[in-house]
Structure 1
Amino acid sequence: MSDEKSDPLAGMPAPGFCLPSADAKEVCLDSFRGKWVVVYFYPKDNTMGCTLEAKGFTDEFDEFARLDAVILGISPDTEESHRKFIGKHDLRITLLSDTGHEVLEAYGVWKKKKMMGREFDGVERSTFLIDPRGNVASAWRKVRVAGHVAEVRETLEKMAGRPGT
């Protein structure tokens, strides 16, 4: 569920970044000014939830493009890992590598996590909708994959003033 009213980044300029893509090209958030940008952070390539989320955004790729939006997925995986992930699942979205965690930390998604009694640092699955002026328009933290892509698209349709057909 979107939590734009209480999220510390809501209404603020989105933290800028330039990160390498799967095809080794630098992608900078500023280059998308004038467009809506969906930035989603996920823990790891080729895991069940992350694969479902990436395939979900790929399935809706044309709908997001119709709304003048681009989709950027960011994880701490390497460019090579992203290339394999994209190839294995025929993904159409842009995946970026943040191996140093700088962008993950700037968005507040690099967190202490617990699993099976073990504590570790990792990515809290989160999505941010950035408006054409570069501000965070909506934020979803602690995302559950089921239904999430549709919720992001529906929020974008309302904000962009172009309901689905």
Structure 2
Amino acid sequence: MIEGQKLRDEFQNFQDKNTVILGMSADSVKAQKNFCDKQSFPFQLLSDPDKSTIQAYEAWGKKKMYGREYEGIFRYSYLIDEKGMIEKAYEKVKVKEHAQEVLSDIS
């Protein structure tokens, strides 16, 4: 949630740099819309309930929390150019700083 809020707060700066922001999770379309509305996100959150795209981006797998292992989505981000090529993968996202990190990478 914090990551999305920071991206929301910097949204105009991303637009000024002709950058599109998209989020994705395995949640339903309805859940994504409700979350987007509640957080006043000016960008789209995509739904991938069968996880096909999430898995294609290698953003799904085993995680550990409090000693318990489970499968879930990783907090990854990708900077993708206008041709659809990945320019940079962010695999260790620090939610409070991520928006600024991406903005500096596209400057």
Q: TM-score range by the shorter chain?
A: over 0.9
CA-CA distance at 1:70 after TM superposition? 0.4
Greater helix share, 1 or 2?
2
Match of 1:52 in 2: 2
Work out the percentage of aligned pairs sharing the same amino acid.
37
CA-CA distance at 1:66 after TM superposition? 0.9
Question: Distance between the aligned counterparts of 1:81 and 1:134, measured in 2?
Answer: 27
Structure number with greater Rg is 1
Q: What residue ranges of structure 1 are gaps of 5+ in the alignment?
A: 1-50, 158-165
What code does the residue aligned with 1:69 have? T
Deviations 1:50-79 (A, max 9, x none): x11111111111111111110000011111
Partners of 1:71 and 1:94 within 8 A in 2? yes
CA-CA distance at 1:143 after TM superposition? 1.3
Task: Give runs of ≥4 in structure 1 deviating > 3 Å.
Answer: none
What code does the residue aligned with 1:137 have? E
Equivalent residue pairs, number: 107
**TM-score for both structures, normalised by structure 2:** 0.94
Q: What residue ranges of structure 2 are gaps of 5+ in the alignment?
A: none
Q: Which has the higher contact order (CA 8 A, sep 6+)?
A: 1
Deviations 1:2-28 (A, max 9, x none): xxxxxxxxxxxxxxxxxxxxxxxxxxx
Question: Distance between the aligned counterparts of 2:85 and 2:22, measured in 1?
Answer: 16
What RMSD, in angstroms, separates the aligned Cα atoms of the two structures? 1.0
CA-CA distance at 1:115 after TM superposition? 1.3
Question: Distance between the aligned counterparts of 2:90 and 2:2, measured in 1?
Answer: 17
What code does the residue aligned with 1:99 have? P
**TM-score for both structures, normalised by structure 1:** 0.62
Question: Distance between the aligned counterparts of 1:148 and 1:92, measured in 2?
Answer: 17
Question: Distance between the aligned counterparts of 1:88 and 1:58, measured in 2?
Answer: 12
Alignment partner for residue 144 of structure 1, among 78, 94, 103? 94
